[in-house]
Amino acid sequence: MSVFFLRRILTLVATLFAASLIIFLVLDALPGNAAQMLMGADASPDAVRALTVKLGLDQPLTVRYLLWIKGMAVGDLGNSYVYGTPVAGLIAERLVLTIPLAIMSMLITVVLALAAGIYTAANHNKLGDVGVMSLTQVGIALPNFWFAILLILLFSVKLQLLSAGGFAGWDDGIWPGIRSLLLPSISLAVVQAAILARVTRSAVLEVLREDFVRTARAKGLGKREVLWRHVLRNAMIPVMTVMGLQFANLLAGTIVIENVFYLPGLGRLIFQSIANRDLIVVRNCVMLLAAMVVTVNFVVDILYAFIDPRIKVSNL
């Protein structure tokens, strides 16, 4: 078990380093000086040079990279080129929106997908199966931001039940906040759930063909009991793999959806920073998103070991 953990953790650390290196190289080493970008093409060379020194951009590339890594280790991400305030603070402000949004949409995704996937597998080739599967086929084809706009059209423009955008914050209690994240998380979740439902269905169908399902039936268990007690846990392995991969899409999706609903989250921050040429903010935001993706997939790997007893011994 410990060897298993150790290997996974080493992989995690190595992946994070590789990600940081690529992000740094793309954003800080490609032609074009950040100071020049900030001040515009017609700034005087002296002023540009002064700003370069002020931002610490005159130091060699390796030094700047190592300073960044060191800073990340202690939680100091440097100051925004534009606002002069700590980047860590800027990001933290936005995460109180983006993280609940991601969690809410992941929850909705999982609930919808498992319900649809299990239902269709249990009713394989019946009318309900064919109907739900056709719906998922359409769901996969919907761009999530368009689905978001359609939701706004229905709930905000037509029914006037929910606001078309903006974030209520958490100051007035939890409900106004959740209410304002409802449409965004649904629009993110439905498309992902369509994919995950199909994966769940085929995983469950696969397990239903296994011999031990027949053994369990021969013991006198009803179909439903067999499904819940014997099939689902076995089907969870492929479902969780896809869930982990989907998390990356979900985070990328939040960037788009935050723009649809004018939500002041991480995605909006990245956008403003690109517009402002605030590369240090972009760099740290992208690093954070990549780190979240890598970490979630690491957690999924660890969860396998808890779900599947075979992994502990064999996967060394």
Partner 1 sequence: MSGAPLIEVKDLGVRLNTSRGPAQAVRGVNFALRRGETLGLVGESGCGKSVTALALMGLLPESAVISGSIRFDGAELVGLPDAAYCKLRGNRISMIFQEPMTALNPMHTIGHQVAEPLLRHAGISAAEARQEAIALLDRVGLPDAAKRVDAYPHQFSGGQRQRITIAMALACQPDVLIADEPTTALDVTIQGQILDLIAGLVEERGMSMILISHDLGVIAENVNRMMVMYGGTVVESGATDAVFTRMGHPYTQGLFRARPRLGARKGTRLKTIAGTVPELADLPAGCTFADRCAIVEARCRAALPAVVDVGAAHGVRCIRTDVSMAAGGSIA
Partner 2 sequence: MSAPLTASAATSAIAPGARPVTGFWRRALRHRSFVLGAVLSLIVLGAALLSLVWTPWSATDIDIASKLRPPSAAHWLGTDVLGRDIVSLLLVGARSTILVGVIAVGIGLSFGVCLGLVAAARKGWTEELIMRMSDFTFAFPAVLSAIMLAAVAGPGMVTSITAIGIFQIPTFVRVTRGSANAIWAREFVLAARAAGKGSFRITIEHVLPNILSILIVQATIQFALAILAEAALSYLGLGTQPPQPSWGRMLNDAQTLLFQSPMLAVYPGAAIAIAVLGLNLLGDGLRDLLDPRLARER
Residues that bind partner 2 (CB under 8 A): 15, 18-19, 23, 26-27, 30, 32, 137-138, 140-147, 149-150, 152-153, 156-157, 164, 195, 198-199, 202, 205-206, 238, 241-242, 245-246, 248-249, 251-252, 255-256, 259-260, 270-271, 273-274, 279, 282, 286, 289-290, 293-294, 297
Q: Nearest to residue 205, comparing CAs of 118, 136, 285, 86? A: 118
Residue in 7, 70, 179, 223 binding partner 1, rule: CB under 8 A: 223
Tokens at residue 293, please? 């993706």
Nearer to partner 2 among residue 20 and residue 185 (C-beta): 20
Q: How far is CA 234 from CA 1, 120, 156, 172, 243, in A?
A: 21, 17, 42, 43, 15
Instruction: Give the number of other Cβ atoms within 10 Å of residue 36's Cβ.
Output: 17
Q: How far is the CB of 197 from partner 1 (least distance, A)?
A: 22
Collect all residues with Cβ–Cβ distance below 8 Å to 19 and sequence separation of at least 6: 287, 290, 291, 294
HSE (side-chain half, CA atoms, 13 Å) at 76: 6
Taking the complex as a whole, the smallest distance from the CB of residue 234 to partner 1 amounts, in Å, to: 6
Q: Residues with Cβ < 8 Å from 50, sequence gap 6 or more?
A: none
Q: Look at residue 179 and give the partner it binds from partner 2, partner 1, none, a contact being a CB closer than 5 to 8 Å depending on partner kind.
A: none
Select the binding partner of residue 208 from partner 1, partner 2, none (C-beta < 5 to 8 A, by kind): none
Token pair 């999530």 is found at 144
Distance, in Å, from the CA atom of 280 to the CA atom of 310, rounded to the nearest integer, reads 45
Q: Which one of partner 2, partner 1, none interacts with residue 307, CB within 5 to 8 A by kind? A: partner 1
Residue (15 or 59) nearer to partner 2, CB = 15
Q: Which stretch binds partner 1 (CB under 8 A): 102-110, 164-172, 230-238, 262-270?
A: 230-238
Q: Which residues bind partner 1 (CB under 8 A)?
A: 210-212, 214-223, 230, 233-234, 307-310, 313-314
